[in-house]
Chain A
Amino acid sequence: MNIIETKGLTKYYGRSKGIENVDLTVQEGDFFGFIGPNGAGKSTTIRLLLGLITKTLGRAEVFGKDIEKYKTEILSDVGYLPAESSFYSGMKVKQMLDFCAKMRKMDCSAQASELCKRFELDMNKRIDQLSLGNRKKVGIVCALQHDPRLYILDEPTSGLDPLMQRMFYEILQEKNEKGATVFLSSHILSEVSRYCKNAAVIRNGSILVSDSIEKLGHTGVKRVTLRGVKEQLSIDNAKDMKYENDTLNFLYGGEAKELLSKLNSVSFEDINITDPELDEIFMHYYAKEEN
């Protein structure tokens, strides 16, 4: 079953484009990464999925239901973490968590206590007095405490220290193993490649590619390293070329024969051709779009 499905989803803010013709499919039980640089349209897509903004064109469904028609019903089974966590001033952590639970007509106190314990979050502290990272943790507990079917997380780890980031992903993986679907936006490519099963890349409001992390890694692009090169070379279809200490490093996206033919006329001591890291591949998608 498709947990999230959008077709031709478009949002314009007046004359300026938010997103255009976004087609996105997220299956039940997926751990889906939504990747793109700042201002690419990640948050706009998420806001449309949550009914915070209304679409200009297209269709957006969550749990197979139209988000604008069945918003309240859909939101009862969604845990949302905004990119910036803001809370009501003067409230204690416990009061905020209790407020969110009561608005859902649920008692989440046991789950909230356990999550706070794992995140080392003092429930009796006033949110105003918490650091940015701890405020983020409050947002995370708010999104997780009611055990929803779908987690929509916008830049979830910004502000968290590495230990807490790991803890956060451990908890998400536990939820995912129990059948929950995770949809997270990020511009930190390493975390997406490490934890997600599928991903989509968005840039300038349009989806560039959407596939499994495994398939996204096979782009035909290779990372080439030549050692003992005495001069900077000019190679067709080479990107990200760096020459330092007699070592030439570049991403090659052309035919292998052409590269070998070119290298025949070049003097070098050693060559290494590997698949690039996923980070590099995503950078390659960004660059491709720019070109």
Chain B
Amino acid sequence: MILYLHELKRNKLSLIIWASVISFMLAVCVLIYPEMSGQMNEMSEMFADMGSFSAAFGMDELNFGEFIGYFGIECGNTLGLGGALFAAVTGISALAKEQKDKTAEILLTLPVSRSKIITSKLLSVFTQVLILNLCICVVTLLTILIIGEEIDLGVFFLLMLSYFLMELEISAITFGISAFISKGGIAIGLGITFAFYFMNILSNLTEETEFLKYITPYGYTDSALIINDKVLDITALAVGGLFFAVGIILSYLKYTKKDIK
């Protein structure tokens, strides 16, 4: 518990900055909707004519004329990328930063088993991802209230849940990698997130690349499916759960026996 709280305290500033920036960007997107809504029908038609480009971002199946359609796309780009980058940076730093900053020598010579250290750090990463998403949820709902748009709360929370799960998966994968590296590895975390993001774009383009949506965690954040059918892609979610578990298991297997040089 002490280490868990210590980790939360250490990352407080980073969490506040990321939560503020992402919330602010989402709020701005929501706040400008009333001004843009008049042009949305034209934009929907325009996007429909853009073929593969619209498909790549899932815009061919969403109605920009409705707030939830607009929100689904904006949410996808802002929270989808911003939240995932936060999860990746937090996950990849959790274990590796101790070695990079040479604090591992102090932490790992205290009478606490490495398994407990991993568990505390992992729970701290997940808690931070949860807090980030709660902040974003509250700010977004308040902004929606301000502009007076009606929204299907079930769909809204399902969208938010999909992003939360995606961020948890990315944080678990990067946490697992963190156990193998001795330096910060921020570049690795960012690289993995962008790779997943572009995999999702590619998976929307052709049938040959569709399988990629089962590899990338963005596969189960498909706004079109969530808004139109009100469900998450269970297959993509199951594969994501597998990656999530592998990331965590690897972190325990490696870090409990790792040489701290």
A residues within 8 Å of B by Cβ?
Answer: 13, 47, 50-54, 71-73, 75-76, 78, 80, 82, 84, 86-90, 99-100, 102-104, 139, 142
Contact = CB atoms under 8 A, between A and B. Distances in A.
B2 interface: yes
Interface in B118-145: none
Contacts of B111: 72-73, 75-76, 103-104
B110 A82 contact: no
Interface of B: 2-3, 6, 10, 101-106, 108-113, 257, 259-261
Contacts of B102: 82, 84, 86
Q: For the complex, would chain B's binding face be called helix, strand, loop or mixed by DSSP majority?
A: loop
A13 B261 contact: yes
A52 B102 CA distance: 12
A103 to B, nearest CB: 4
A51 B101 CA distance: 19
Given A53-B260, A54-B259, A87 B113 contact: no
A104 B110 contact: yes
B252 to A, nearest CB: 16
Shortest Cβ-Cβ A-B pairs, 7 listed: A86-B102, A76-B111, A53-B259, A75-B111, A52-B260, A103-B110, A82-B105
Given A13-B261, A88-B103, A52 B109 contact: yes
A78 B106 CA distance: 12
B112 A52 contact: no
Nearest to B104: A52
B106 A87 contact: yes
A97 to B, nearest CB: 11
Contacts of B10: 88, 90
Contact of B105 (A86, A89, A99, A100): A86
A53 B109 CA distance: 11
Contacts, number: 62
A99 B103 contact: no
Given A54-B257, A73-B111, A75-B110, A87 B6 contact: no
Contact of B259 (A52, A76, A88, A89): A52
Contacts of A51: 108-109
29 contacts: A13-B261, A50-B109, A51-B108, A51-B109, A52-B104, A52-B109, A53-B260, A72-B111, A72-B112, A72-B113, A75-B110, A76-B111, A78-B109, A80-B105, A86-B103, A86-B105, A86-B106, A88-B6, A88-B10, A88-B101, A89-B101, A90-B10, A99-B2, A100-B106, A103-B3, A103-B111, A103-B112, A104-B110, A139-B106
Nearest to B116: A72
A13 B259 CA distance: 9
Contacts of B101: 86, 88-89
Contacts of B112: 72, 103
A55 to B, nearest CB: 10
Contact of B106 (A13, A90, A102, A142): A142
A256 to B, nearest CB: 48
A52 B110 contact: no
Contact of A99 (B6, B104, B260): B6
Nearest to A11: B259
A67 B103 CA distance: 21
B43 to A, nearest CB: 46
Contacts of B106: 82, 86-87, 100, 139, 142
Residue picked from A47, A78, A88, A90, most chain B C-beta under 10 Å: A88
B2 A102 contact: yes
A42 B108 CA distance: 19
A226 B110 CA distance: 56
A93 to B, nearest CB: 14
Nearest to A86: B102
Contacts of A88: 6, 10, 101, 103
